[in-house]
Amino acid sequence: MLGILLVHKPIGVTSHDVVNDVRRRFGTKRVGHAGTLDPLASGVLVVAVGPATRFLQYLPLEPKVYVADIVFGHSTTTYDAEGELSEALPVPENLTSVLESVLPQFRGLIQQQPPIYSAVKVGGKAMYKYARSGQEVEREFRTVHITSYEVLSASENQVKARIICSGGTYIRSLAHDLGQTIGCGAYLSGLVRTDVGRFSIDQTTHLKDLTPECLIPLHQALPPMPLIPLDELQTANIREGRQITLTETPTATMVALLEPSGTVFSVARVDGNVLQPECVIPSGVPHATS
């Protein structure tokens, strides 16, 4: 069994909890996910079952879209509602106007630090473990791309914002850094991931409702990557790890390959009109058929 699940992760569970639940439901240990969501967050979590886990890296998983609830007037140790609150600071009376003036500096390519309470590893150890033991570690800045950071609604000290960003962006850090820039502190109080690449929350299934019928076959999940059908001899050569030569040169750098039955069994790198397989599904593995 193999395929892709679009799961609506609920609040209060980790992404790994979702993986463990899918393992139990589908009777397989080979389950993986793309793009961790914190327990506080809900929304789209892309999960792969069986050999499809090898194809997660090729799925169209960017940009990511979030709707974030941000509270101003406090910061927290975790940058979200689960951390310890700092002392209260006055929130600007014209919060919306202030936000509109500073938000442009949070768009485009920006540098951000991951929260100290995060799974980012330093010296082979997750940073949150250092934080829990009271140790300070140096956090390296990372470059992320923020396509859009817009206010949807606002009250005296709370804002709902829509953020479109690259993978690896910490929305908690965006909330915290925004509060630091304004000077009153801020933290993330709620988060929904509404889109991952071309996968939207409307396509997701709640965890309790997942069945094998929810699996999306790779030929539906991989596009816009081109799909190239092969004959039996070409398929056999790819399964043996050998290059094959096409009569026409693909325009993409990576392509998905279809065996004669019409199912994806490999992703290959394109070099001119030569295809070099990067990953291959063994023959005889049942695919999702939806």
> Residues 168, 173, 177, CA angle at the centre, nearest 5°?
140
Strands (DSSP E) along 15-169, which ranges? Answer: 31-34, 41-49, 64-72, 108-112, 121-122, 125-126, 142-154, 158-165
Distance CA 49, CA 40 (A): 25
User: Which of the following is catalytic: 38, 69, 80, 195?
Assistant: 38
**DSSP category for residue 9:** E
Specify which residues 203 forms β-bridges with.
Answer: none
Distance CA 21, CA 46 (A): 14
The yes-or-no answer on residue 17 being catalytic is no
Q: What H or E segment, with its residue span, contains residue 18? A: helix 15-26
Burial class (CB in 10 A: 0-12, 13-18, 19+), 253: exposed
Residues with catalytic roles: 38
